[in-house]
Chains A and B, each alone.
Chain A
Amino acid sequence: MSDLLRTFLRNRKAAIGLAIVLAYVAIALAAPLIAPFDPIARVGRPHQAPSAEHWLGTTRMGRDVFSQLIWGTRTSLMVGIVAGLIVTAIGTFIGITAAYFGGLVDDVLNFFTNVVLVLPQLPLLLVLAAFLGQVGPWAIALIIGLTSWAWGARVTRAQAMSLKTRDFIQASAMIGEPTWRMILVEMLPNLLSIIGFNFIGSVIFTIITEATLEFLGLGSPLALSWGTMLYNAQTASAIMVGAWWEVLAPCAAIVLIGVGLSLMNFGVDEIANPRMRTLGTVAKALRIEKRLTRQRMQEASQ
Chain B
Amino acid sequence: MRFLLKRLGFYAVAFLVAATFNFMIPRMLPGNPADIMLANSGGMIAPEAREALMATFGFIDAPLHEQFFAYLGSIFTWDFGLSIKFYPMPVADVLVQALPWTLFLTGSALLIAFSSGTLLGILAAWRRGRLTDVIASPTALALQSVPAVVVALCGLYFLAVRNRVFPTSYAFDPKLDPALSWEFLSSVAYHGFLPVVTLSVVLVGGYLITMRNNMIGQLGEDYLAMAEAKGLSDARVRYAYAARNALLPSVTALALSFGALFGGSLITEVVFNYPGVGNLLYLGIVGRDFPLIQGQLLIMTLAMLLANLAVDLAYVFLDPRLKRA
Task: Give residues in A with beta carbon < 8 Å to B.
Answer: 111, 114-115, 117-124, 126-128, 130-132, 151, 204, 208, 211-212, 215-218, 230, 239-240, 242, 244, 247-248, 251, 254-255, 258-259, 261-263, 266, 269, 275-276, 279-280, 283-284
- Does B150 contact A239, Cβ atoms closer than 8 Å? no
- Chain B hits for A247, CB < 8 A: 153, 157
**Which residues of B, 139-170, contact A by the 8 Å Cβ criterion?**
141-142, 144-150, 153-154, 156-157, 161-162
- Chain B hits for A269, CB < 8 A: 213
- Chain B hits for A208, CB < 8 A: 145, 147
- Chain B hits for A211, CB < 8 A: 147, 149
- Chain A hits for B150, CB < 8 A: 251, 254-255
- Chain B hits for A244, CB < 8 A: 157, 162
From B14, which residue of chain A is reached at the shortest CB distance?
A115
- Provide the main secondary structure of the chain A interface: helix
- Does A115 contact B13, Cβ atoms closer than 8 Å? yes
- Does B141 contact A216, Cβ atoms closer than 8 Å? no
User: Which of B69-77, B82-90, B240-248, B261-269 makes up part of the contact surface?
Assistant: B261-269
Most buried by B among A151, A247, A262: A262
- Does B300 contact A123, Cβ atoms closer than 8 Å? yes
Q: How many residues of B contact A (CB 8 A)?
A: 57
- Chain B hits for A111, CB < 8 A: 10, 13
Contact A119 B293, CB 8 Å, known A126-B281, A131-B26: no
- Does A124 contact B141, Cβ atoms closer than 8 Å? no
- Does A259 contact B281, Cβ atoms closer than 8 Å? no
- Does B216 contact A279, Cβ atoms closer than 8 Å? yes
> Whole-angstrom distance between the alpha carbons of A279 and B242 in the complex?
15
- Chain A hits for B129, CB < 8 A: 280, 283-284
Report which of A124, A212, A266, A279 forms a contact with B267, defined as CB distance below 8 A: A212
Expressed in whole angstroms, the minimum distance between the Cβ of B48 and any Cβ of chain A is: 26
- Does A120 contact B149, Cβ atoms closer than 8 Å? no
- Does A212 contact B18, Cβ atoms closer than 8 Å? no
- Chain B hits for A263, CB < 8 A: 141
From A210, which residue of chain B is reached at the shortest CB distance?
B147
- Does A123 contact B29, Cβ atoms closer than 8 Å? no
> Whole-angstrom distance between the alpha carbons of A239 and B156 in the complex?
8
- Chain B hits for A216, CB < 8 A: 267, 270, 282, 285
Can you list 13 A-B pairs, Cβ within 8 angstroms, ordered by A?
A114-B10, A118-B308, A120-B303, A123-B281, A126-B285, A128-B25, A216-B282, A242-B161, A248-B157, A251-B153, A255-B146, A263-B141, A280-B128
> Is B224's CB within 8 Å of the partner chain A?
no
Known: A251-B153, A258-B146, A280-B128. 8 other contacts (CB 8 A): A114-B10, A118-B11, A121-B263, A123-B266, A123-B296, A123-B300, A126-B266, A284-B129
Expressed in whole angstroms, the minimum distance between the Cβ of B39 and any Cβ of chain A is: 14
> Is B220's CB within 8 Å of the partner chain A?
yes
- Chain A hits for B285, CB < 8 A: 126-127, 130, 216, 218
- Chain B hits for A258, CB < 8 A: 142, 145-147
> Whole-angstrom distance between the alpha carbons of A88 and B301 in the complex?
25
Expressed in whole angstroms, the minimum distance between the Cβ of B256 and any Cβ of chain A is: 7
- Does A275 contact B217, Cβ atoms closer than 8 Å? yes
**Which residues of B, 30-58, contact A by the 8 Å Cβ criterion?**
none
- Does B141 contact A262, Cβ atoms closer than 8 Å? yes
> Is B189's CB within 8 Å of the partner chain A?
no
Complex A-B, nearest 3 residue pairs according to Cβ-Cβ distance, in ascending order: A258-B145, A122-B263, A208-B147
- Chain B hits for A248, CB < 8 A: 154, 157
Contact A122 B157, CB 8 Å, known A263-B141, A275-B216: no
- Chain B hits for A130, CB < 8 A: 285, 288, 293
Expressed in whole angstroms, the minimum distance between the Cβ of B150 and any Cβ of chain A is: 4
- Does A230 contact B153, Cβ atoms closer than 8 Å? yes
- Does B128 contact A279, Cβ atoms closer than 8 Å? yes
- Chain B hits for A126, CB < 8 A: 266, 281-282, 285
> Whole-angstrom distance between the alpha carbons of A239 and B21 in the complex?
37
Expressed in whole angstroms, the minimum distance between the Cβ of B264 and any Cβ of chain A is: 8
> Whole-angstrom distance between the alpha carbons of A248 and B303 in the complex?
33
